[in-house]
Structure formats: structure tokens, C-alpha cells
Structure 1
């Protein structure tokens, strides 16, 4: 049910045409809020927000947040940044600028407006972890000069900025560390493992496993993730995060490949060398999310994978017809 007009907010979502941003906007509009979607469309796409084109509560602005932004809003969700290795390594300098300059610009806007601001951080701040599962008090094991550093260290610096603005200026902040998320509207060519496997299987191509497939990941369905975002944003100012949001059920990459093949049909598995600094294990400790937000994931991998396959089946079909 839409909220009453008196409680309606005008909310800025940067990266709003991306995978996560578009799902967040759907939820916010469903709550009756006005949403300003800002995106430079580097990895986001208007296809993700086409259904909102004529919605009276939705506005789109093409803008790069490495440049200052002057708007009037009540809250800010900062999701803008390429999030897959293929995309963030394409222009690593711009990736770092998006995380760092973007954070500075959005924090400056929040400071001027005295607005609550949310930062979409990442489990990549833990690097290739030596602690398993990863809890928020773990400082990480990150290579500061490797090919993934533009994203890992950019997000770490953004967290530093958020907490310094909070401590020094009293700015109300919320910081989430996102673990591997999947679902409809993922970019079909972003190189992430779920979209890779599903698209390859639907096209009858071999599924590419990097390394021997024994490395593990924990896969969170997008609807569960967005619910975690909203719950954190609704907490009082004493709850800042960082808070892990992810699904603690852990699978090897080979297990995910085998599940995908079992659901779609017989594609073979091939192996390629493991990329440098690729984490061997990734699993969130979500004790804090449970205690502070009353949150835990509801959609498990088999159900979420079915929904994702359905989306990509339509998408791949449309691409082949074009």
C-alpha cells in the first residue's frame, strides 16, 4: 500500500538504472515515494527502468557522480559504481574516481541537505579473506596494487569517508556490505558467475569455470538484498553499519555450474586459469543483520536460480531474434 502523502519522501538513487538500483527504485515507488534516478549508463541501462518511464513518481537524470550534483532530496542511496570485474577493470581509474569522488560529492550533497545517506559497499572490502565466514569487524586481506584494487580499495576509501563525515560532522549514514547477489536484470555480459553460467547454458555453450571450481561463494537473491537495504535505512541514527547483507549458504563454483546445467540442459564444463587475487572463499556472517534489522534471506538458491533463468531465457530469446 502506498504511504500517505505526508510521509512521502523525495529519494535520490545513484546507479538507479543498474541491476540493484532498478529493483530498489521499484520498492521505493511501491512505498509511495518520489524517486530521482541518476545514472551515467556506463553499466546501467534504460531497459531496467523503461517500465517507469511515465510513472508520476519517477524522474531520470543522466549524470556522472564524479561531478558535483545539485538537487533537493530527503534521502540518498549511493549505488553508483561498476560492480563486476569485467566492467570495473575496463577503466580502473574511473572506477576509483566513482567510488571516491562520487562518495565525496554525495556526502557533500547530504551534508548540505542534512539528509540521511546510504552507501552500497561490498564484500570485496574483505579481499581474499583469511577469516571465514567474514564478520564486520574483520579488516580484510586486500592487495592495494592489483587488478582488482580499483574496486576493492575504492570501496574501502568510500567507507572511510562515510564514517569520517559521520564522526566529524554528525552526518546520518548507513553502510551495507553486499555479498554476491543475483536475479533478473543482471547484465548479461558482466562476467559474474550466475549470469555467465545461465547465459552460456541457454545458448548451448560450454560453461566456463575459472580455476578448479572449488572456490566458494554465497549467493543472495536480489529481493532479499533490497529488503535488507530498506530495513537498514529505516533504523535510527545509532545504527550506521557496516552491516553484511548476503546469504550465508555457501556453494562451490562447480556446484553452481552443475545446478545450472541440471536446470537448463546439457552443456559441458571447461576450465580456465583463475584470475589474479580472486577470493577463494566468500561467506557472510549475518549475525548483525539478524540482531539489528531482524533480517535474513528467504529465497534460497534453487528458487532464485529458477527466477533468474526465466528472465534470461526471455532476454536471450529477444537477442537472438534481433
Structure 2
């Protein structure tokens, strides 16, 4: 694990998107992604992350520098907000829309599965992947190992905003059904697992936006205002 210069280990942040849809462990069950599964990205983003993984392995091995690769699952948590025209960051989208009175839109009914990992746990896992001896040369899932549907997140948001409405939309092309992380390897290598449940994380995010109304983008407030006028 000798390094050149001052670099002791490089940790490359990759993504669960390299897996694509994966394969369910049982018929009707959500897919579980293992680090040894053959990657099959469905997007340019996922493909570039996979390319980056290969480049890190080739470059670091040649330079005799220790490396690790962490594949993030669905990252959420304060101070995450949303970008106009984007549909990433499910927790932020649902909570912010509910906070301004907009309906919670569920593509395909919200039955897609994600493995939601709070940003605090993402940070903790990444730091360990930089320092744990057993992480050397490893590809590691940073996930909770818990499959969670987007609909169940929306329903938990409704416990904070009971007047919000759920609206089902058609499934857009290319939207993966998703899956969850196999976390056996990361637990062994890092002696660690995420601590924050998705329910606790959503509660924390809602509390954060209630305390910081300026976190809600102006364009979303305008959208809510226009929607109210149309309703009248």
C-alpha cells in the first residue's frame, strides 16, 4: 500500500447507477445489488461513473497508490435542495413540494425502489473507505441494505403535511425500477453501517426546511402560486 508523494489513498465516489436495473433475487422482489454483479448502466451518468472506476483502478495500480471505490446509493438530507427541470433527489422534491402546497407526483405510482442513505452516513462511510486497511482496492456499496419505495417516502412526508395530495403520473422512459444495496462487504471492510433510518432522515429534512423557508427555491414558490390561481 505504498504511495507516491503525499497521497496515501484515493477514494473514488461512484454510483449505484452502474448496476442498471439488476436482477431480482426472487420473482416480484426488488433487485439487490452486489459489488460483483456485472455492471449494466442505463444512463450516460452511470456509464461515466463506471468508466471512472476503471480509470482509477488502472491509474492507481500503475502508480502503486492505494485506492477504494464507493458506490453511493440514493443520497438525501439537508441542505439538499432541488434544481428546476431535474427529477433527482426524491426526498427533497417531495418534501419541498408538500411544503408549498403542490401535489406529490409519483411516476408509475411510486413503486420504484431506492436505497436512501442520509448524507451524514455517506460522509462517514466515505471517510472510513479512505482509512480502513481492509478497504484497499475494494469496491464498496454505501447503502443501508433496506429497499424503500418512493411511494412510502411520499406517505411519510404526508405525516408532516396531511393536506398534501398524491398524484400518480405515467412512468417516464428510462426510469429504473431500482433496487437496494448488498451491504455485507462494506460491513466487513469498514466495520460500519449507516445509522439514520429513512423515516428519521425525512423528519430531519422536513424540520430543516420548516426552520429555513429561504431554502425553498423561488421558482417553486412561483409554481405553487400559479397553481393556486388556476385552481381559483
Stretches of structure 2 that go unaligned for 5 or more consecutive residues are 25-30, 222-232
- Asked if 1:239 corresponds to 2:136, the answer is yes
Q: Secondary structure, in 3 states, of the residue corresponding to 2:68?
A: strand
Of the three residues 3, 8, 11, the one matched with 1:118 is 11
Aligned residues: CA RMSD: 2.2
Using the TM superposition, give the Cα deviation of residue 170 of structure 1 relative to its aligned residue in structure 2, in angstroms.
1.5
Structure 2 residue 44 is the aligned partner of structure 1 residue 159? no
Residues 318 and 183 of structure 1: is their aligned pair in 2 closer, same or farther, counting only changes over 3 Å? closer
TM-score by length of 2: 0.81
Aligned partner of 1:43 in structure 2 is: none
TM-score (norm 1): 0.60
* 2-structure distance, mates of 1:291, 1:318: 38
- Distance in 1 between the 2:213 and 2:23 partners? 39
SS in 2 for 1:264: coil
Match of 2:117 in 1: 220
User: Per-residue displacement from partner, 1:191-250 (whole Å, max 9, x unpaired)?
Assistant: 321111000000011001111211111211111111111111112376222100111121
Higher relative contact order (CA 8 A, sep 6+): 2
Task: Structure 1 unaligned segments of length 5 or more: list them.
Answer: 1-109
Q: Counterpart of 1:298?
A: 195
Take 1:290 and 1:247, find their aligned partners in 2: how far apart are those partners?
Answer: 10
Correspondence for 2:82: 188
TM-superposed CA distance for 1:317, in Å, is: 4.8
Query: Using a 3 Å threshold, how does the CA distance of structure 1 residues 238 and 205 change in structure 2: closer, same or farther?
Result: closer
Instruction: Determine the C-alpha separation between the residues in 1 that align with 2:135 and 2:160.
Output: 45
My pick for the range that moved more, 255-264 or 269-278, is 269-278
Structure 2 residue 97 is matched with structure 1 residue 204: no
Question: 1:282 offset after TM fit, Å?
Answer: 1.6
Contact 1:199 1:316 (8 Å CA) reproduced: no
- CA distance in structure 2 between the partners assigned to 1:155 and 1:318 by the alignment: 29
Determine the C-alpha separation between the residues in 2 that align with 1:224 and 1:318: 22
Q: Secondary structure at the match of 1:139?
A: coil
CA gap of 1:246–1:119, structure 2 versus 1, over 3 A, is: same
C-alpha distance in 1 between matches for 2:212 and 2:91: 15
Alignment of 1:60-209 (within 5 A): 113-131=6-24, 132-143=31-42, 148-149=43-44, 151-189=45-83, 190-191=86-87, 192-209=89-106
State the distance in 1 between where 2:112 and 2:12 align: 28
Q: Quick one: distance in 1 between partners of 2:151 and 2:77?
A: 19
Given the alignment, which residue of 136, 149, 153 partners 1:252?
Answer: 149
Alignment length (residue pairs): 207
| CA offsets 1:60-89 (integer angstroms, 9 cap, x no match) | xxxxxxxxxxxxxxxxxxxxxxxxxxxxxx
